[in-house]
Amino acid sequence: MRVTFSANGKPVEADDVWEGESLLYVLRERVGLPGSKNACEQGECGSCTVYLDGVPVCACLVAAGQVQGREVRTVEGLAGPDGELGVVQQAFVDAGAVQCGFCTPGLLVQTDALLAADPQPSDTDIREALSGNLCRCTGYEKIMDAVRLASARTCARGAEK
């Protein structure tokens, strides 16, 4: 089948999609957006988290056909128009929250969604919101730092405006 949808604001189409393919496979192997990661392909690790119509979902659990006509935003769509890093992306780099980085794309999308809903989450809120995203390298401490940093920067920017 053919699937057409919008990815990071641009229309894309994929041909010859087998009906069992996931959105994750289509993004990674057909559309040239390998940023979302394939760690379990079972909805357990969160590495493949993308926005689907503004809601974070595990792309590995979404059948390709389900995204027909809808809007997908991936980690590749988090940077600004000139490629400058978004607040959450920069905070992850600055805080040392990226080691191997395989969990990072999913965590970035989930954190972006968290801060959009609640710019000043408590530590426990952060842990709850990110509990579906596994990271094997960092021990999460620096990820906590990164989210706190992104939150502080977001709020500081809000205050400036």
- DSSP string for residues in the chain: --EEEEETTEEEEE-S--TT-BHHHIIIIISS-TTS--S-SSSSS-TTEEEETTEEEEGGGSBGGGGTT-EEE-GGGSS-TTSPPPHHHHHHHHTT--SS-SSHHHHHHHHHHHHHH-SS--HHHHHHHTTT---SSS-SHHHHHHHHHHHHHHHHHHHH-
Residue 36 interacts with another protein (CB under 8 A): yes or no: yes
Exactly one of 45, 57, 67, 72 binds another protein (CB under 8 A); that residue is 45
In whole angstroms, the minimum distance from the beta carbon of 159 to another protein comes to: 25
Q: Which does 58 bind (CB under 5 to 8 A by kind): another protein, ligand FES, none?
A: ligand FES
For the window 83-102, what string marks contact with ligand FES as x by the rule CB under 6 A?
A: ----------------xxxx
Residue 135 interacts with ligand FES (CB under 6 A): yes or no: yes
Residue 109 interacts with ligand FES (CB under 6 A): yes or no: no
Residue 58 interacts with ligand FES (CB under 6 A): yes or no: yes
Residues that bind ligand FES (CB under 6 A): 38-41, 43-48, 58, 60, 99-103, 135-138
